[in-house]
Chains A and B, each alone.
Chain A
Amino acid sequence: MSVVTGAGLWLIRLAYLAFALFPLFWLVRIALTPDALLYSEGTTLWPSEMTFANFAYVLEQSPFPTFFTNTVIVSLGTAAIVTVLAAGVGYAFSRFQFAGKRAVMVFLVITQLFPLVMVITPLYQLLAPLGLVNTRVGLVIVFTAFNLPFAAFLMHSFFEGIPRELEQAAMIDGCTRFQALIRIILPLMLPGIGATLGFVFTAAWSELLFSLMLISSEDLKTFAVGLLSFVGRSGVDWGQMMAAATLALIPPAIFFTLIQRYLVGGLTAGAVKA
């Protein structure tokens, strides 16, 4: 490869990096800027002084710790339940031929097609008599259902990457199929399980509309709703808002960074077999 194409490639790589990271860099930059300098120094790349006052305010004097806890509970709960249920669906798709298999697959694809805004009201009417409106449990149930189809597709792909011979051998040695699944297959599936957990956690962390419609109590609100009400208040305090946004970003960023290469790996394995 010539020097010119090498340099060109690096330019392209750096352009991608800049596009991906600049917005996040700017978020953190404003969060660290003292209020007094925000307007006087204009939009220079870095302020002449740094402060953590905005972060301190958000953590100590705003309801954000509550929003944060709620979002962690709801997202972790959703991710865990979705992963277990999706593993079942993915396993059935990958290892069995059965009547109605195609119909179930088509059904899962169809669920991806309809506008969520359409089901909010009927869903509310379904959950209200069960006492699930304005509860974290209600949110987890709804998020679980909506994240399950894609997670099942992911899990299917991960199972395809694991040779059938392994569980066949285990069953010859006297394991039941279920024992083979738990003892042989699941340990090999750990990267796939991690990837699905991370993917769903990130999605649940993002969810806005259902949280907006289903949760009304201040102490049950998730981050998305909390941050929006923050923005809606008059007299926007940029520094505090961006500090809150930065904090909201940390858990999914860590989670996703840890699992992203397993996501690629698992989908690769599925693609080879499919």
Chain B
Amino acid sequence: MSIGADTRAATGRSPHLARRRLPAAEPYFYLAPGIALVAIVMLVPLAVGVSFSFQNYVIFRPSARGWIGIANYVDLWSDRTFWLALRNTARWTFWSVAFQLFLGLGLALILNRPFFGRPIFQSLVFLPWAVPTFLSGLNWQWLYNPIVSPLPGWLAAVGILDEPRNILSDPDLALYGPITAMIWWGIPFFAITLLAALRSIPQDLYEAAAIDGASTWQSFRHITVPFLLPMITITIMLRTVWVANSPDLIFVMTGGGPASSSQILPNYVFTTAYRALDFGYASALATVLMVLLVIYSVFLLFVRGRLGQ
């Protein structure tokens, strides 16, 4: 429905012809500059990138460049680093997002009730989100270094580590370093979106529930949760995709090591493209990651659609 039509009906004035014709084109006028830029800078390189994955494209062998069909994808199948990186991507994303969700939800619930000093508290607990990602990585890299930080000592004291050592140089534990940094950095984003969703729940629902004798838990279960679910699913989707695609923290903290033990797919793509200079294979890796994320997102949006009914 066009608002322009309402206006004319309400005033009975006859607008200029030019203005009457505008509404059809008008939204595109507002939309075009932004969408055009995104299409050129993101979509065109994406298409080119996907096309690389069907080519033999190794920088130091320019004469061998050419179309090779799905050979790069066939190579993936027997590439052990790929499977390791895929498992690591799942671990990295799952633990990061799960903890961000629960801690972020907890924080949103805390911030939704008034208490002494809440405005200051809120700006302080949201601070990690303002820290540049690479800096969070460096910061946590330093925190895990027993020479300059008490953290390894504390971890040993509570029994998580056998001695105050650096988990980033332990192949079994290295990935948990960047995971902690990611959780630390990402909690505020969940808290912000979920706090906004909490505030939009009509308060009279809780009053009505209280009059009907509902307990706090029942109110939470039957009012808060259903209202939050759409926002929770959309935030989980966005964060999952961002986290799964984000190489910065691992790049800075472990470089994927020791010995590929903390390698996730985006980092493996980066290494393949800029160390091995094999753009074809790197693009095949990236395309697989993208396809998996598209499937995941479609599934989540489908679930969200079902929840809305």
What CA separation (Å) do A3 and B39 show in the bound complex? Answer: 57
What 1/0 flags go to B270-283 for Cβ under 8 Å of A? 10011000010011
* A249 adjacent to B131 (CB under 8 Å): yes
**When the two chains form the complex, which single residue of A86, A92, A245 contacts B139, counting CB atoms closer than 8 Å?**
A245
* A24 adjacent to B192 (CB under 8 Å): no
Binds B, one of A58-66, A139-147, A186-194: A139-147
Task: Please tell me if B218 contacts chain A, counting CB pairs below 8 Å.
Answer: no
Cβ of B35: which chain A residues have Cβ within 8 Å of it?
Answer: 89, 104, 107
Cβ of B2: which chain A residues have Cβ within 8 Å of it?
Answer: 96-97
Cβ of B45: which chain A residues have Cβ within 8 Å of it?
Answer: 119, 122-123, 126
Given contacts A122-B45, A256-B129, contact A38 B148 (CB under 8 A): yes
Cβ of A267: which chain B residues have Cβ within 8 Å of it?
Answer: 192-193, 196-197
What CA separation (Å) do A209 and B6 show in the bound complex? Answer: 49
* B142 adjacent to A206 (CB under 8 Å): no
* B143 adjacent to A123 (CB under 8 Å): no
B interface, size bucket: 35 or more
Given contacts A141-B41, A271-B231, contact A115 B132 (CB under 8 A): no
Task: Please tell me if A240 contacts chain B, counting CB pairs below 8 Å.
Answer: no
* B49 adjacent to A119 (CB under 8 Å): yes
* B289 adjacent to A115 (CB under 8 Å): yes
Nearest opposing residue in chain B for A258, CB measure: B123
Chain A interface residue count, CB cutoff 8 Å, equals: 98
**When the two chains form the complex, which single residue of B3, B138, B197 contacts A271, counting CB atoms closer than 8 Å?**
B197
Given contacts A12-B106, A271-B197, contact A119 B130 (CB under 8 A): no
Within 8 A of B (CB), among A88-137: 88-89, 91-92, 95-98, 101, 104, 107-123, 125-126
Given contacts A85-B34, A113-B290, A126-B45, contact A268 B241 (CB under 8 A): no
What CA separation (Å) do A242 and B148 show in the bound complex? Answer: 11
Given contacts A117-B273, A202-B130, A227-B138, contact A122 B44 (CB under 8 A): yes
Task: Please tell me if B31 contacts chain A, counting CB pairs below 8 Å.
Answer: yes
What CA separation (Å) do A164 and B7 show in the bound complex? Answer: 12
**When the two chains form the complex, which single residue of A17, A26, A38 contacts B121, counting CB atoms closer than 8 Å?**
A17
* B149 adjacent to A268 (CB under 8 Å): no
**When the two chains form the complex, which single residue of B10, B24, B41, B135 contacts A245, counting CB atoms closer than 8 Å?**
B135
Task: Please tell me if A205 contacts chain B, counting CB pairs below 8 Å.
Answer: yes
What 1/0 flags go to B130-164 for Cβ under 8 Å of A? 11111110111011000111100100000000000
Cβ of B74: which chain A residues have Cβ within 8 Å of it?
Answer: none
Task: Please tell me if B127 contacts chain A, counting CB pairs below 8 Å.
Answer: yes
Interface centre among B48, B231, B294 (most CB of A within 10 A): B48
* B46 adjacent to A142 (CB under 8 Å): no
Given contacts A119-B49, A141-B41, contact A12 B110 (CB under 8 A): yes
**When the two chains form the complex, which single residue of A16, A88, A148, A260 contacts B192, counting CB atoms closer than 8 Å?**
A260
CB proximity of B137 to chain A, nearest CB, Å: 9
* A255 adjacent to B30 (CB under 8 Å): no
Within 8 A of A (CB), among B1-50: 1-4, 6-7, 10-11, 19, 22-24, 26-28, 30-35, 37-46, 48-50
Task: Please tell me if A56 contacts chain B, counting CB pairs below 8 Å.
Answer: no
* A115 adjacent to B290 (CB under 8 Å): yes
Task: Please tell me if B287 contacts chain A, counting CB pairs below 8 Å.
Answer: yes
CB proximity of A164 to chain B, nearest CB, Å: 6
Task: Please tell me if B95 contacts chain A, counting CB pairs below 8 Å.
Answer: no
Task: Please tell me if A182 contacts chain B, counting CB pairs below 8 Å.
Answer: no
* A24 adjacent to B139 (CB under 8 Å): yes
* B248 adjacent to A256 (CB under 8 Å): no
Given contacts A223-B132, A249-B135, contact A115 B286 (CB under 8 A): yes
Cβ of B270: which chain A residues have Cβ within 8 Å of it?
Answer: 117, 209
* A268 adjacent to B199 (CB under 8 Å): yes
Within 8 A of A (CB), among B209-257: 231, 238, 241-242, 245, 247-248, 251-252
What 1/0 flags go to B178-203 for Cβ under 8 Å of A? 00000010011000110111011000
Cβ of A13: which chain B residues have Cβ within 8 Å of it?
Answer: 110, 115, 121
Within 8 A of A (CB), among B82-120: 103, 106-107, 110, 115, 119
In the complex, besides A97-B1, A148-B37, A172-B7, 4 extra interface pairs with C-beta distance below 8 angstroms are: A23-B128, A115-B286, A224-B134, A267-B196
6 closest A-B pairs by CB: A267-B196, A145-B41, A256-B130, A122-B45, A118-B286, A85-B34
